[in-house]
Amino acid sequence: MNSITNLELTFPNQTNVYHGKVRDVYSIGEDLLVMVASDRISAFDYILPKGIPFKGQVLNQVATMFLEATRDIVPNWLIGVPDPNVAVGYRCEPIKLEMVIRGYLTGHAWRQYQKGERLLCGVEMPEGMKENQAFPEPIITPATKAEEGHDEDISRAEILSQGIVDEPTYVALEKYTKALFQRGTEMAAERGLILVDTKYEFGMYNGEIMLMDEIHTPDSSRYFYAEGYAERLENNEPQKQLSKEFVRQWLIENNFQGLDGQSMPFMPDDFVDLVTERYIELYEKITGKAFVKSSYEAIEKRIYENTLSFLQEHSL
């Protein structure tokens, strides 16, 4: 096994398991979650046919770094990391929103802009902007958190009218989103990167809003290299970036955007290797540390035993 795509674990006091697009989430008792970061990769809400070696480890370790670095802004779900691919934390009641924040006109926002749209999730985008140009201020463009299929853009007014959350809760979510994005922007700048856009997921635990899941990883975020950004923008050239966007672009070039009638293209091994290299590059760039590859030998046994020991040591 050189990637983690399908694991079936059973822990003591396990009450449920959910296999997401990227993570396998094990419910332990009433209050705990064990999240195993697989090497699966998704784009356009579809899981691609091959796993990306070390992707799960990269995501788990990058997310851990940022969760620890933002605890002063908002409480988060994380208790500990017993294994390179595993995080253990509090089981929150999810708020069914993705709080997407965009500092630059790129990706989905740019595709809408090209179609002539100037309102995104009820937020006005200025006229006369270029692809990858910074917005005057970051904009928040939420999306519904779909159980299946595509997440959908949604405005603040629609969120409140549908009763997804009440207004005080939404105001708090916006405040946390802006503060987290500012912290992420500052941390990226220290490493010569620009945090372009990202998304946050929140939940409730004991009546308190908590930050959940991963943050500021290449799956949930887009980064540009700061060096050369202005020149590339001026010359209408593509930005050098670290994100999953190049996977989406590869799929688009191979006639797949998750639309009806489209077939998932074959993933050659050299492309898989390239994706792995990109994920490791982002890890090393954003953390300033060399990436240490964990072994895939007996990985299912390793993940289980490390997690079980952690649960037992912490009486969880």
pLDDT digit string (tens) for 66-82?
Answer: 999 999 999 999 999 99
CA angle 106, 74, 44 (to 5 degrees): 30
Q: Distance between CA atoms of 196 and 133, rounded to whole angstroms? A: 10
* Annotation: CATH topology of 94-246: D-amino Acid Aminotransferase; Chain A, domain 1 (3.30.470)
Q: What is the pTM of this model?
A: 0.90
| 240 SS3 class | coil
> Which three-class secondary structure state does DSSP give residue 102?
strand
Task: Summarize pLDDT for 95-149 with one digit per residue, the tens.
Answer: 999 999 999 999 999 999 999 999 999 999 999 999 999 999 999 999 997 665 5
pLDDT of residue 149: 57
d(Cα 245, Cα 108) in Å, to the nearest integer? 10
Q: From CA 212, how far away is CA 121, in angstroms rounded?
A: 22
Look at residue 49 in the predicted model and tell me its pLDDT: 92
Taking the C-alpha atoms of residue 168 and residue 179, their distance in angstroms, rounded to an integer, is: 17
Helix, strand, or coil (residue 247): helix
Assign residue 45 a region (left: φ > 0; alpha: ψ between -120 and 50; beta: otherwise).
Answer: left
76 vs 71: CA distance, rounded Å: 7
pLDDT recorded at residue 145 = 79
Q: Is 35 helix (H, G, I), strand (E, B) or coil?
A: strand
Block residue for tokens 């191979």: 254
For the chain, which residues score pLDDT lower than 50? none
69: region left, alpha or beta (phi > 0 left; psi from -120 to 50 alpha): alpha
Asked whether the beta carbons of 102 and 197 are under 8 A apart, the reply is: yes
Closest to 182 in 3D by CA, of 70, 63, 64, 95: 70
pLDDT recorded at residue 147:
62
Structure-token match 């463009």, residue found: 141
Contact 278, 54 (CB under 8 A): no
